[in-house]
A and B are shown apart, each in its own frame.
Chain A
């Protein structure tokens, strides 16, 4: 079974700082990897989707990279803002199971004004 790990579990940074969130997965046979943010009491908002053939995706201040062979992805947030405070989750769609997304437990980010 695919195991997804996110480090760190929590992160607190001052406003304006650039930061990196890490995601690792145990089986490199994936269809894609998706990064989400989750605000308290809310569902998940999709941030970036990287297909297995891609190396990175960018959206505004966010950049996600994928190194499938080493089982790693990073989410880079530039010039962080207090509104970025949320839990960030990564999820992989596994080739072996096809339909399932396997989620990490998330990184709780606090951006201090």
Chain B
């Protein structure tokens, strides 16, 4: 596809369950970013990949959050033992390089019951 694709679009999980969110970046984009957006707020940075290397994970809120991009293309954000405060929209973005515009997917809306 032409844009960044995220799946699922919506995810409902019970507290304590593990979830996995997928991001398909634009083909050829080296940089990939994950953000968390709470209702009425701007996105907050979670982690950054350059190809398959996770160069910055300083924004991950706890060790329950884990992201990977094993082949430098598709990325997965995993949240273990979900908590209610994890409810948010998770956005993925990709870019050709660090100084290039970031292109965002439509996000995954995660609701923890």
Contacts and interface: CB of A to CB of B under 8 A. Distances in A.
Q: Do A and B interact with each other, yes or no?
A: yes
A85 B57 CA distance: 34
A49 B101 contact: yes
Interface in B1-52: 4, 6, 33, 35, 40-45, 48
B91 interface: yes
B91 A98 contact: no
Interface in A68-99: 89, 91, 93, 97-99
B99 A31 contact: yes
A34 interface: yes
Contacts, number: 65
A19 interface: no
Interface residues of B, number: 28
A46 B48 contact: no
B45 A101 contact: yes
The A interface is mostly helix, strand or loop, or mixed, namely strand
21 contacts: A34-B102, A42-B107, A43-B91, A43-B106, A44-B43, A44-B102, A49-B100, A49-B101, A51-B99, A91-B42, A97-B56, A98-B56, A99-B56, A100-B45, A100-B56, A101-B33, A101-B43, A101-B45, A103-B42, A104-B42, A105-B42
Interface of B: 4, 6, 33, 35, 40-45, 48, 55-56, 58-59, 91, 93, 98-107, 109
